[in-house]
Amino acid sequence: MNENKTKTKSANGVEKKSYMTFVSDFFKEIKKVIWPTPRMTFKNTGITLVAVILVGTYVWMIDLGLKELLRKVMEISS
């Protein structure tokens, strides 16, 4: 006999759970999450901003170099 009445099989054989089982499982998993402290959040935000600035500067310098190279090529061809 089927012991767990909340699960059913769909046409493709995948188990489907009821809405209440989903919500219950959701809250159980949320309790397992390790939430960052405000200090960790601030530190991670700083690291992200520094990384974005560094990558942005790198891309900007590559763009300037390619623009200058294109200018020289166009100058030679005319």
- For residues 40 and 30, give the distance between their C-alpha atoms in angstroms, rounded to a whole number: 19
Residue range 13-53, pLDDT digits in tens: 556 668 888 889 999 999 999 999 999 999 999 999 999 99
- For residues 58 and 43, give the distance between their C-alpha atoms in angstroms, rounded to a whole number: 23
Angle at 50 between CA 44 and CA 53, to 5 degrees: 140
- For residues 69 and 73, give the distance between their C-alpha atoms in angstroms, rounded to a whole number: 6
* Predicted structure pTM score: 0.57
Among 7-16, 17-26, 57-66, the least confident range: 7-16
